[in-house]
Amino acid sequence: MLNAIAFVILGCAIILGAFSVVTVRNVMHAAYWLLEVAVAVAGLYYFMSAEYIAIMQLLIYVGAVGMLVIFTVMITQRSQVDNERPGVFSLFAFIASGLLFAAIAYGVIKSPSLVASAPQAPMSLLTFGQQLFSTNGWVLAFEIASLLLTVALVAAVWWTKDRDN
């Protein structure tokens, strides 16, 4: 019951937010609508008993990526005029997005129901951690990802430092 109500509320919030992201003329407002979508998706994860994913969604997508998006919008606007994006209607973009929507909808409708193959109980946090860090689990992928991020971090430092001296 509670889950159903939460799903309806969050689902509506996501649809409204996603719609606003693309229709709102003010770029900064669009960025904040994007954040609203991210928060609502985190709520959805939470009610699907995926607590860990919900927390990561909040920490990373809202806290970090959201901040990056907002800073980017702020830094790239030269004047208040840049805030308003032009409301140009593009037939090509309309058709392309319509086709994409049709393809995704077709895929969703045609694919076998996921409900049957879903596990009965959510995976406990302990099992999740053990899966992630065991040698026959995902530890290699985890290490590669962290190495990649470290390289990116070092590269960012190298790029931004003063190269005159």
Interface contacts to another protein, rule CB under 8 A: 26, 28-29, 32, 35, 39, 51-52, 55-56, 58-59, 62-64, 66-67, 70, 74, 125
Nearer to another protein, 72 or 97 (CB): 72
Contact 21, 41 (CB under 8 A): no
Q: How far is the CB of 77 from another protein (least distance, A)?
A: 10
Nearer to another protein, 60 or 102 (CB): 60
What's 65's DSSP letter?
A: I
Contact 41, 7 (CB under 8 A): no
Q: How far is the CB of 39 from another protein (least distance, A)?
A: 8
Nearer to another protein, 14 or 61 (CB): 61
Q: How far is the CB of 44 from another protein (least distance, A)?
A: 15
Both tokens assigned to 123 = 């995976």
Contact 82, 25 (CB under 8 A): no
**Which residues, 6 or more positions from 31, have their beta carbon under 8 angstroms from its beta carbon?**
66, 69, 70, 73
